[in-house]
Structure 1
């Protein structure tokens, strides 16, 4: 019985390790192909440009993002010079159509985050 348990425990990590090893390169390729910059890449860029350590850069970026999110949650707009302005907009209640069934449904009023691009950035794209 001990031999059976050893075989099961030996097989389980091998199965978990193989997909993770395959998933990591695919995730790196997907991020590079999509043109998306991940948070870890931002941390590396900030560390390279400022001379801060990666840990300090990660703390600074996380703090900035938390500040932006808390300001938006309190209903304030956030201006990022050279980039644009994030603001909270109210959405009105409306009637929508459920895909597949064409059933009419009521969509309640809510809020959304809007982004207005800075004119300097828009001109440079």
Structure 2
């Protein structure tokens, strides 16, 4: 054996040495509000759709994927999508403008483009 192979690996420093001190700190006022906010993903939507429409998970997943694909294609074509009781998705043009590069004071030109805009339905807005 060589000398280099006999050396022991340096002991790893415990990475959690600062973590307990942070965990023991008082919870902020925003912590409970953040915990209440949840995101529903595609798999949860598929499950809900399957239960409400009486479809299998496979059929509900295929239907949801088809709807999302159709919506994406319609937005790419510049069409507006009305979702009754939810709101309206539309494509809006953005003008060219001057911006500031983050981290520096350098001014940059931001090209004109397009963005997806959402306008909530008035009934849903009132009920929130």
Whichever structure has more helix as a proportion of its residues is 1
Higher gyration radius (CA): 2
The residue that corresponds to 1:93 in the other structure is: 96
The residue that corresponds to 2:126 in the other structure is: 123
Query: Tell me, which stretches of 5 or more residues in structure 1 are unaligned?
Result: 1-31
Corresponding residue to 2:59 among 50, 53, 56:
56
Cα RMSD for the two superposed structures: 1.2
Query: Tell me, which stretches of 5 or more residues in structure 2 are unaligned?
Result: 1-34
- After TM superposition, give the deviation of residue 33 of structure 1 in Å: 6.5
The residue that corresponds to 1:10 in the other structure is: none
The residue that corresponds to 1:43 in the other structure is: 46
Structure 1 Cα separation of the partners of residues 36 and 84 of structure 2: 28
- After TM superposition, give the deviation of residue 56 of structure 1 in Å: 0.4
Structure 2 Cα separation of the partners of residues 119 and 33 of structure 1: 24
- Aligned residues between the structures: 94
